[in-house]
Amino acid sequence: MSSVDVLVAGGGGFIGGHLVADLLRQGLSVRSVDVKPLDEWYQVHGEAQNVQADLSLLDHALEQTDGARQVYLLAADMGGMGFIENNKALCMLTVLTSTHLLQGAQRAGAERVFFSSSACVYAADKQTDAHITALREADAYPAMPEDGYGWEKLFTERMCRHFSEDFGLTTRVARYHNVYGPNGTWTGGREKAPAAVCRKIATAVITGDHSIDIWGDGEQTRSFMYIDDCVSGSQMIMNGESAVPVNLGSSELVSINQLYSIVEDIAGIKCTRNYQLDAPQGVRGRNSDNTQILETYGWEPSISLADGLAKTYAWVYDEVKRSLG
């Protein structure tokens, strides 16, 4: 393979597509790889090397890491809470992709590897209250992460650490907290809460049916990070000097009910809410403690939830309108 500045594994995904775009804007050469056919990628950038390959296979991973100076390990089989809770084995199988990419990066002599971990690594007993104290990096241990997806993420964090210790491979780990924005999944079961909320409200506006379903009682809490902050923060961590996992997210905590209210205000409507108490809800409360990233990098998100949701809603609205004809 030819040499490139950056390999983005999972480049056909939501975060990967935005990351590839930003790297290309900086004048870097990029190899974007995803298991999906190109016509299913969220974004395809003509300036990049766009490759369909199954990175869970060792020979594919070795081929695609060859010649890459930096590797962003974003590839994962995942989705929103409904998908994660009902597909634990598929989520765990991502460990094959993670393992083989680390092996490939090490053999290729890559300068650095960035791994996108998740807030799902945090112990469940730290997230039982909607008014929970924000999660610190140390709260991942003693380990009891979210079943399936969370265990795979925590295991790969450990692999990154040991590849660094044993092989000298420089690795960086960020724990993402609920990334959202345009050009991502907004329907079909894999979408996350902000996109799902935007879709429901947009559908209500377009159809005139202002009755919507909400999973749970709506009082579960989360924080959400806009995609632009995720892309800039990921690159900062990749090129930084700290090897320990760090939270990358917003500390702006809201309930799901508040999330709906913000999008209703953006759309200019009020909806009747039907609460589905037997639907997947995930943990009761989750928020990002940003003390470590502030101390290490002097960084915090620059885009408020209201501003990010306004941009996301505008994009989702157009997608819903197009789908409804």
- Residues assigned a catalytic role: 149
DSSP for 282-312? --SB--B--HHHHHHH-----S-HHHHHHHH
Of residues 149, 182, 222, the one with CA closest to residue 15: 182
CB 16 within 8 A of CB 51: no
Q: Decide: 263 and 309 in contact? Cβ < 8 Å.
A: yes
SS3 at position 66: coil
CA distances for 43 relative to 10, 14, 16, angstroms: 11, 8, 9
Which two three-digit tokens encode residue 255?
């309930």
Closest CA to 75 of 221, 67, 60: 60
Cβ–Cβ < 8 Å for 121, 139: no
Amino acid sitting at position 295: E
For residues 73 and 9, the answer to whether their CB atoms sit within 8 Å is yes
DSSP state of 27: T
Residue pair 114/70 in contact (Cβ under 8 Å)? The answer is yes
Q: What is the pairing mode between strands 254-255 and 221-222?
A: antiparallel
Q: Which residues of 195-223 are buried (b: 16+ CB within 10 A; e: fewer)?
A: bbbbbbbbbbbeeeeeebebbbebebbbb
